[in-house]
Amino acid sequence: MVIVRSTLTFQPVLDRIADEIAQTPTRGRPADYIPALAACDPARFGMAVAELDGTVYGVGDWRQPFSAQSITKVFTLALDLAREADELWEHVGREPSGNPFNSLVQLEYENGIPRNPFINAGALVVTDRLHTRTGDAAGTLLDFLRTESDNDRLAIDEDVAASEAAHGDRNAALGHFLASYGNIGNPVPVLLDAYFRQCSVAASCADLALATGFLARHGIRSDGSRLLTQRQAKQVNAVMLTCGTYDAAGEFAYRVGLPGKSGVGGGVIAVVPGRCTLCAWSPGLDEQGNSVAGVAALDRFTTLTGLSVF
């Protein structure tokens, strides 16, 4: 077993992982319900590791921007939690859903309170609350990502946003359903526009690994200022571990052993508290909407390095 210690570079581990992934024939299929993502090549693969001081290691397509999609839910959650603290949890839960990320059924059973902030209904509530507090949820998110990744070129992919809006009937239904329970404050069309733009941010593995660093630093941003309290950072990491990969969170915890969040663009971020953050990307998804190669790469990383929360 290869053990990575603080005096060693992560690069040999990433190189080994990339070689192993290249020999894996099964890569899943890109998300086909969002036409702008359907044409992505499932053979693409990139991975980056960012240390607490901002040092980044990468392999493969680690500098290639891709659609962050639901990965952005981690950042909007943190940005809203920093503003309203525990009041947020009166409007969204913290439990695994056990259902598909865009399910309507559970929302009705639970009187309009989404099970957690990472299923679509819960993310809509968080984005709505952040939009109310900032006037521009997507813009606030983008500013944060640009600052934390030190990349002013990060942008919203307008083609992806338009594609999501054109095929967003299920999210529109969720929005109206939440509004009927009084759990949405903005007009549903305004909320949907903010949400689709949020999910359409294009960023690379390096960008997202760096942007996630505040969770490994227990709430501290890259400039040394505090975004979240230690307790809040623990909360976000805990919800990522139990809910971050849809209804496959148990399998992800079993295989990877880290707080993580996936997106149907093929990216997966993960946090080693106090040590580093990671992002792996490959567009081919499994039936739960998680990157096949991305999860496999994170599994190999924790196995090779011994870095896990367990």
Is residue 239 within 8 A of residue 95, CB to CB? The reply is no
What is the distance between the alpha carbons of residues 221 and 214, in angstroms, rounded to a whole number? 5
Residue 57 annotated among the catalytic residues of the structure? no
> Quick check: is 264 catalytic?
yes
Q: Does residue 256 contact residue 240 with C-beta atoms inside 8 Å? A: no
Question: Which residues, including other chains, have CB under 8 Å from residue 274's CB and lie 6 or more apart?
Answer: 52, 216, 217, 218
Residue 155, both tokens: 């942008």
Among residues 67, 70, 149, 222, which one is catalytic?
70
Does the annotation mark 163 as catalytic? no
> pLDDT by residue for the chain (310 residues), tens digit each?
333 444 458 999 999 999 999 998 777 889 887 888 888 888 999 999 999 999 999 999 999 999 999 999 999 999 999 999 999 999 999 998 766 666 677 788 888 999 999 999 999 999 999 999 999 999 999 999 999 999 999 999 999 999 989 988 999 999 999 999 999 999 999 999 999 999 999 999 999 999 999 999 999 999 999 999 999 999 999 999 999 998 899 999 999 999 999 999 999 999 999 999 999 999 999 988 899 999 999 999 999 999 999 9
70 is catalytic: yes
Q: Find the catalytic residue in 13, 67, 73, 271.
A: 73
Active-site residue (options: 246, 261, 271, 282): 246
Residue type, 234: K
Long-range contacts of 129-135 (CB under 8 A, 24+ apart): 129/80, 129/84, 129/88, 129/91, 129/185, 130/76, 130/79, 130/80, 130/83, 131/186, 131/190, 131/191, 131/194, 132/185, 132/186, 133/80, 133/83, 133/84, 134/79
Catalytic: which of 59, 97, 195, 295? 195
Radius of gyration in angstroms for the set of CA atoms belonging to the chain, rounded to a whole number: 18
What tokens appear for 179 in the block? Answer: 């509004």
* Catalytic residue status for 33: no
